[in-house]
Amino acid sequence: MSDLDIQLDREAGRFEAVVEGHSCVLDFTLEGDVVSMNHVGVPKAVGGRGIAGQLTRHALDWADDQNLKVRARCPYVAAWIERHPEYQELLT
């Protein structure tokens, strides 16, 4: 799956995409110039399609555009960054 319509809800601290009626999210908190990526959630009904990876890439690209450092509190985000070393420079 590609070209997800990912929306940023800065007040709620989340990126969200709705896939087949299911809410897929990456939750974060922002403290100064550090964004902590806390949780990625994709319902099983739409799992296995790379949605979590797309949310993660989108959130990391946003952090880079905003000149933010990233704290990968979510194990999925941490593992994704390990597999995509071009994003490791964002880590704090």
**Contact criterion met (CB below 8 Å) for 55 and 26:** yes
Structural domains in the chain, sorted by start: 7-87 (3.40.630.30)
Q: What is the mean pLDDT of residues 6-28?
A: 97
pLDDT-based confidence at residue 2 (cuts at 50, 70, 90)? low
Q: State pTM to two decimals.
A: 0.95
Contacts of 65 (CB under 8 A, 6+ apart): none
pLDDT at 1 over 60: no
CA distance 39 to 2: 21
Amino acid at 80: W
Query: What pLDDT does residue 29 have?
Result: 98
What pLDDT, on the 0 to 100 scale, is given for residue 44?
A: 97
pLDDT (tens digit, 9 = 90+) per residue, 26-79?
Answer: 999 999 999 999 999 999 999 999 999 999 999 999 999 999 999 999 999 999
Confidence of residue 3 (pLDDT cuts 50, 70, 90): confident
Q: CB of 17 within 8 A of CB of 4?
A: yes
Phi and psi, residue 78, nearest 5°: -60, -45
Residues in the chain: 92
Backbone phi, psi, residue 18, to 5°: -105, 120
Local structure of 68: helix, strand or coil = coil
